């Protein structure tokens, strides 16, 4: 009797194991072998082949991470429901707070701006779609790290501008703020966007000059950013439940 967990095409099943293992985050070859149960030469050969096709990439430490081709395929197929629903929410948040708004996703040791709505007039913090920023500073980085598994969370704190106490406060409040952390003169507020399983998929943010947002921007804007992030999370849950 054929194993129902396999397709019968061995090389594809093994490649899927590699991609599935990388969903949890960056992995060394040894970690890939441990997570997949594949022989070391097989795991290496598949990871390198997937890297050639940009379905796998490497981070600054040389670890394997999910590659950009996967996001490109998902977007082209119209399956990226988060991005499909994001613009009305980003624009509404921008208009309500009068600050630029963004959505960030984590990619290895970085976060990538996948959607944005810029403030139309006056001073603004311009972050174009596709911009790659550090995971070591900024309110979006705090949000993307705060709900990680303990081992990944503590690894992420190495060299970061924030600490474990900061992330504990983020989890308790449901939002993060930064003031001059990522860039001098810039403040931001972020909240988590969650998938149907409750896993944090992205960070929804607003950013602007400190002189306008103040030294405690979360006090003023935290509830609005959380409400907007919750609207996106509710939309994703509704799609999953077949309500839309």
Q: Which two tokens stand for residue 91?
A: 């624009």
Three-state secondary structure of the chain:
CCCCCCCCCHHHHHHHHHHHHHCCCCECHHHHHHHHCCCHHHHHHHHHHHHHCCCEEECCCCCEEECHHHHHHHHHCCCCHHHHHHHHHHHHHHHHHCCEEEEEEEECCEEEEEEEECCCCCCCCCCCCCCEEECCCCHHHHHHHHCCCHHHHHHHCCCCCCCHHHHHHHHHHCCEEEECCCCCCEEEEEEEEECCCCCEEEEEEEEEEHHHHCCCHHHHHHHHHHHHHHHHHHHHHHHHHCCC
| Comparison of pLDDT for 85 and 243, the residue scoring more | 85
CA dihedral sign, ordered 223, 228, 234, 237: negative
Whole-angstrom distance, CA of residue 60 vs CA of residue 68: 15
Whole-angstrom distance, CA of residue 44 vs CA of residue 199: 29
Q: Which two tokens stand for residue 127?
A: 């972050």
* pLDDT tens string 19-30: 999 987 889 999
Identical fold for domains 8-73 and 79-239, yes or no, is: no
Where in the chain are the domains?
Answer: 8-73, 79-239
CATH class given for the domain over 8-73: mainly alpha
Residue that the structure tokens 């077949």 belong to: 242
Q: Would you place residue 53 in the very low, low, confident or very high pLDDT band (cuts 50, 70, 90)? A: very high
* pLDDT tens string 59-94: 888 899 998 888 767 655 444 678 878 999 999 999
Q: Kindly report which listed range (24-28, 39-43, 78-82, 136-140) carries the lowest average pLDDT score.
A: 78-82
For the domain made up of 79-239, give the CATH fold.
Answer: Beta-Lactamase (3.30.450)
**What is residue 40's predicted lDDT score, i.e. its pLDDT?**
95
**What is residue 23's predicted lDDT score, i.e. its pLDDT?**
84
């Amino acid at each position: 009797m054929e194993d129902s967990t396999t397709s019968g095409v061995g090389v594809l099943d093994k490649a899927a194991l590699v991609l599935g293992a990388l969903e949890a985050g960056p992995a060394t070859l040894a970690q890939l072998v441990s997570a997949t149960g594949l022989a070391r030469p097989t795991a290496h050969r598949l990871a390198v082949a997937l890297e050639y096709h940009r379905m796998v990439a490497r981070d600054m430490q040389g670890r394997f991470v999910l590659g950009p081709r996967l996001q490109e395929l998902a977007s082209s197929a119209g399956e990226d429901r988060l991005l499909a629903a994001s613009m009305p929410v980003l624009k509404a948040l921008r208009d309500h707070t009068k600050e630029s708004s963004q959505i960030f996703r984590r990619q290895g040791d970085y976060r990538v701006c996948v959607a944005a709505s810029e403030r139309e007039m006056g001073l603004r913090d311009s972050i174009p779609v596709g911009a790659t920023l550090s995971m070591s500073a900024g309110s979006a980085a705090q949000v993307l790290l705060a709900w990680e598994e303990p081992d990944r969370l503590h690894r992420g704190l190495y060299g970061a501008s924030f600490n474990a106490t900061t992330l504990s406060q983020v989890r308790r409040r449901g939002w993060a703020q930064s003031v001059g952390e990522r860039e001098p003169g810039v403040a931001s507020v972020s909240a988590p966007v969650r998938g149907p399983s409750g896993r944090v998929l992205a960070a929804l943010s607003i950013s602007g000059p400190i002189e306008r947002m103040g030294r405690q921007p979360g006090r003023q804007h935290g509830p609005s950013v959380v409400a907007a992030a919750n609207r996106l999370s509710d939309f994703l849950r509704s799609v999953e439940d077949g309500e839309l």
